[in-house]
Amino acid sequence: GAVVSQHPSWVICKSGTSVKIECRSLDFQATTMFWYRQFPKKSLMLMATSNEGSKATYEQGVEKDKFLINHASLTLSTLTVTSAHPEDSSFYICSARDRRLAGVYNEQFFGPGTRLTVL
Amino acid sequence: AQKVTQAQTEISVVEKEDVTLDCVYETRDTTYYLFWYKQPPSGELVFLIRRNSFDEQNEISGRYSWNFQKSTSSFNFTITASQVVDSAVYFCALSAGGGYNKLIFGAGTRLAVHP
């Protein structure tokens, strides 16, 4: 149980294009999903917290107009990198909290990540 | 402020050696959770353990053991008789406070186990 998928697992795009990354909780409902970014040999940095049916909360320094997050259902959140540039190349990881465990265990279930390369 | 410090950037050991990965955390909350994750070269995070602030019991799971000491705000991770498959980056993380309980990750420790 508690499986989170991400699609695509990797993507290469040209500078200036937009890329959408999907994060799905496969066997549970997630009221809250998180998006992280990881540069090579660096730690995970939280970008935003996404709650179903409401606007995402972005961390300081993260451009919300560049990284559009939509959490349209209890099993799906999407991150769209708009007008991507080479400096946006990174490993993007999502995680989800099982609504049944909210407030009981603060555990997040992580997706396998999406490697974005912008040429 | 909440913070996780993993002072060891890289550790290199020979197979069968024991190795301890250090984690020091900071939080003013009395209720919090600590985690360890393993990130192999594939990139996917593997959950290892969760510990809440009210449970200071040490835990052992096979070759893995964890030492939680609130007095020193540390949550160290020991691998006994290390194996090449243990080579990965290990992250310690903290979840505290209200709101949506986001995870604060340490910088990670890269462990290389050589045959």
Q: What is the pLDDT of residues A45-89, one digit of tens each?
A: 999 998 888 889 999 999 999 999 998 889 999 999 999 999 999
Residues of chain A contacting residue B105, judged by C-beta atoms under 8 Å apart: 43-45
Q: What is the pLDDT of residues B30-62, one digit of tens each?
A: 889 899 999 999 899 999 998 989 888 888 889
Residue A31 — very low, low, confident or very high, per pLDDT cuts 50/70/90? confident
Angle at the Cα of B70 from the Cα atoms of B66 and B75, rounded to 5 degrees: 30
pLDDT beyond 70 at A102: no
Provide the pLDDT for residue B59: 86
Please list the residues that pair with A30 across neighbouring strands.
A98
Please identify among residues 8-37 of chain B the ones whose CB lies closer than 8 Å to any CB of chain A: 33, 35, 37
Q: Which one of B35, B43, B108 has the shortest CB-CB distance to A43? A: B108
Provide the pLDDT for residue A72: 82
Provide the pLDDT for residue A98: 82
Going by C-alpha positions, the residue among A97, A102, A111, A117 that lies closest to residue A36 is: A111
Which residues does chain B have with pLDDT short of 50?
A: none
